[in-house]
Amino acid sequence: MDEANPDSMRLKCWRLIKRDYLQWVSLEGDPNNLALGIALGVFAGVMPVIPFQTVLALTLALLFRASKVAAALGTWVSNPLTWTFLYYTNYKLGAWFLGLSGTDALFRGIMNSIRTGEEWMDVVDKMAAAGGTILAAFLTGGFLLGLISAVFSYLFCLVFFQKVKQWRDEVRFNSGAW
């Protein structure tokens, strides 16, 4: 297929969406454990710790006895399409919460590095070099946004996985598997 063809790109996008949807629907387990795993993964995915998001999600899933697979899937909320939004929101929320001002020039430099696609370790180095207040704003904002996102994703996914379980039970019952 031609990469420049918009129809080809649209078809690839729909295939990826279908694949991801089928992965979610095929998850097995208790709806509460699955929803909690997704919520913990979303929390970790929102945190500005890109190289360690999956490790954080799996550690939290172990601590809270949630689905580890669902936790790993939940980190997908953080991806190249959302990084700029997440980092911007994390910083702004954290700076507001901590009452910081006067660090916007440093912040713009870090956001420009993210937008231009610099290596993540270089971005992390710039964040560390910018000082503790910038890092504190990113982490505080990530924690707050992560908590908010985790609550909403838990509630949404709990209903979703309950419906999937109900549908599976109906299919098994109607097929005589019971």
Q: Is residue 151 part of a domain?
A: yes
Q: Is residue 44 part of a domain?
A: yes
Q: Is residue 15 part of a domain?
A: no
State phi, psi for 118 to the nearest 5 degrees: -65, 160
The pLDDT tens digits along the chain (178 residues) read 455 676 776 777 677 666 666 565 556 678 999 999 999 999 999 998 878 999 999 999 999 999 999 999 999 999 888 888 998 899 899 989 998 875 677 777 777 887 787 887 777 777 777 777 888 888 999 999 999 999 999 999 999 989 988 887 777 667 665 5
Exposed / middle / buried, residue 41 (Cβ in 10 Å: 0-12, 13-18, 19+): buried
Q: Is residue 18 part of a domain?
A: no
> What confidence score (pLDDT) does residue 177 get?
55
Domain count, the chain: 1
Range of the domain at 132: 31-174
Q: Is residue 84 part of a domain?
A: yes
Q: Is residue 116 part of a domain?
A: yes
